[in-house]
């Protein structure tokens, strides 16, 4: 049988050179009541999401501080391929900002790929320009936009918890273990849990904030946060007999235990209340199947907080926060250690507690946390 002839000049197409269909372009839209479920489903399925990406955080910040949310969805056909939670903060202290997200440790872009991330950021720049913003803050664990400077102001502290409750005490370094044991055995401290203790925790927290010369977030913020995270928080008090010496509000997300607010009385250091509180929280976390203890972020120059966390065996990991300053603008001075705030910080512990609580309610909306 004769071989079939090959036509001269006809193209010979290799399987390796066949055209790959282009992906449909993605469009950027703002979240609406109809797309809240789309947002939440994407966040829950993304490996890098945090509790600060979720809609309970969105609702809490909106209700408490009144900032305008601009939550951007990237859609390809009918599929979500990226999100960016933003709040427009119009502050008489820092100017106009876009922040992802205020009052939270995490935030920033979640996307399927770099193309989607770039689209989301391009829309963010457009919004910032339209609103005459000074800057855009992205509070991602890892930097996501390669062309934006990365800040080195904050570190996070976290460790994988032991498998068994009885191993937690021995898992702590020797001195931290001794302090927590003293709280339990020598001073008879006990931990109690329940949402009914929320106001007690806030009262202790406001006292601690005054001692530390820091702004107190208003009680409605605590209330809203608890309301919107019914299965993802613990409220804890540390009792010494009838006396309340410390309290914690802890957030829970995926496999993480995240102590968010702590308050302590003036007697707390004397009886190792904070050491015992964190031991109790770690033990409860293990008992409920959580795997990571997220000790939260600390400013790099906050020596006291950094040393306390290292004392418990946690080492700092610099966060990949990024700030994009718009053309012609200057970066806002958001650090509490800025020289502009020195006089206020010296005077703050001397102000009556009732006044610092009131001032916190009026000033905190103009800060980003």
Mean pLDDT by 10 residues, the chain (369 residues): 39 48 83 97 97 98 97 96 98 95 96 96 97 96 92 95 98 97 97 98 97 95 97 97 97 97 94 97 98 96 94 96 94 73 85 95 94
Model confidence over 93-126: pLDDT tens digits?
Answer: 999 999 999 999 999 999 999 999 999 999 999 9
Q: What is the pLDDT of residue 4?
A: 40
Specify if 214 maps to a domain: yes
209 and 181: one domain? yes
Specify if 363 maps to a domain: no
Structure pTM?
Answer: 0.90
Structure tokens at 337: 């250690």
The bridge status of strand 79-84 relative to strand 87-91 is unpaired
Specify if 64 maps to a domain: yes
Specify if 51 maps to a domain: yes
205 and 287: one domain? yes
Q: What is the pLDDT of residue 343?
A: 81
Alpha carbons 242 and 102: distance in angstroms, whole number: 37
Number of domain units in the chain: 2
Alpha carbons 148 and 326: distance in angstroms, whole number: 11
Alpha carbons 290 and 161: distance in angstroms, whole number: 8
Q: Is 14 exposed, middle or buried (0-12, 13-18, 19+ CB in 10 A)?
A: exposed
198 and 140: one domain? no
Q: What is the pLDDT of residue 6?
A: 37
95-100, strands of its sheet edge to edge: 68-69, 87-91, 95-100, 135-138, 322-325
Q: What is the pLDDT of residue 5?
A: 39
170 and 84: one domain? no
Q: What is the pLDDT of residue 342?
A: 78
31 and 107: one domain? yes
What CATH number does the domain containing 252 carry? Answer: 3.40.630.30
Which residue, among 61, 69, 99, 75, has the nearest Cα to 25 in the 3D structure? Answer: 75
Specify if 97 maps to a domain: yes
Alpha carbons 367 and 369: distance in angstroms, whole number: 6
Q: What is the pLDDT of residue 23?
A: 73
Alpha carbons 324 and 99: distance in angstroms, whole number: 11
Domain of 229, in residue numbers: 155-318
Specify if 85 maps to a domain: yes
Q: How far is CA 318 from the centre of its chain?
A: 14
- Tokens 């006809």 belong to 10
Specify if 352 maps to a domain: no
58 and 102: one domain? yes
Specify if 366 maps to a domain: no
211 and 111: one domain? no
- For helices 198-211 and 219-228, the axis angle rounded to 10 degrees is 140
Nearest-Å Rg of the Cα atoms of the chain is 25
- Tokens 């050179």 belong to 17
The bridge status of strand 256-264 relative to strand 292-299 is parallel
171 and 87: one domain? no
Give 369's Cβ-side CA count (13 Å radius). Answer: 27
222 and 255: one domain? yes
Alpha carbons 118 and 120: distance in angstroms, whole number: 5
96 and 202: one domain? no
Alpha carbons 321 and 140: distance in angstroms, whole number: 6
160 and 146: one domain? no
80 and 206: one domain? no
Q: How crowded is residue 193: how many other Cβ atoms within 10 Å of its Cβ?
A: 15
Q: What is the pLDDT of residue 21?
A: 57
């Amino acid at each position: 049988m004769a071989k079939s002839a090959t036509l001269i000049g006809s193209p010979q197409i290799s399987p390796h050179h066949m055209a790959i269909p282009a992906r449909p372009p993605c469009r950027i839209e703002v979240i609406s009541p109809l797309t809240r479920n789309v947002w939440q489903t994407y966040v829950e399925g993304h490996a890098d999401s945090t509790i600060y990406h979720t809609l309970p955080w969105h609702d809490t910040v909106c209700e408490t501080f009144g900032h305008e949310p601009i939550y951007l969805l990237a859609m390809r056909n009918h599929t979500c391929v990226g999100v960016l939670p933003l709040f427009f903060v119009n502050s008489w202290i820092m100017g106009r900002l876009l922040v992802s997200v205020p009052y939270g440790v995490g935030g920033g872009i979640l996307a399927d790929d770099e193309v989607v991330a770039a689209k989301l950021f391009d829309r963010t720049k457009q919004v910032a320009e339209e609103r005459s913003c000074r800057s855009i803050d992205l509070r991602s664990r890892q930097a996501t936009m390669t062309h934006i400077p990365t800040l080195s102001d904050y570190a996070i502290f976290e460790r994988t918890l032991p498998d068994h409750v009885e191993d937690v005490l021995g898992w702590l370094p020797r001195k931290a273990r001794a302090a927590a044991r003293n709280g339990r055995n020598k001073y008879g401290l006990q931990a109690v849990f329940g949402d009914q203790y929320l106001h007690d925790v806030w009262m202790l927290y406001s006292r601690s904030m005054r001692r530390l010369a820091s702004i107190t977030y208003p009680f409605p913020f605590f209330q809203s946060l608890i309301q919107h995270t019914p299965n993802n928080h613990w409220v804890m008090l540390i009792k010494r007999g009838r006396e309340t010496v410390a309290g914690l509000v802890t957030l829970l997300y995926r496999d993480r235990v995240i102590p968010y607010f702590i308050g302590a009385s003036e007697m707390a250091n004397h009886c190792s209340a904070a050491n015992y509180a964190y031991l109790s929280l770690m033990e409860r976390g293990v008992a409920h199947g959580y795997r990571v203890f997220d000790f939260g972020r600390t400013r790099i120059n906050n020596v006291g907080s950094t040393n306390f966390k290292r004392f418990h065996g946690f080492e700092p990991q610099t966060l990949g926060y990024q700030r994009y300053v718009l053309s012609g603008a200057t970066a806002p001075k958001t650090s509490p250690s800025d020289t502009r705030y020195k006089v206020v910080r010296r005077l703050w512990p001397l102000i009556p507690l009732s006044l610092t609580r009131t001032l916190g309610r009026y000033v905190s909306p103009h800060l980003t946390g």
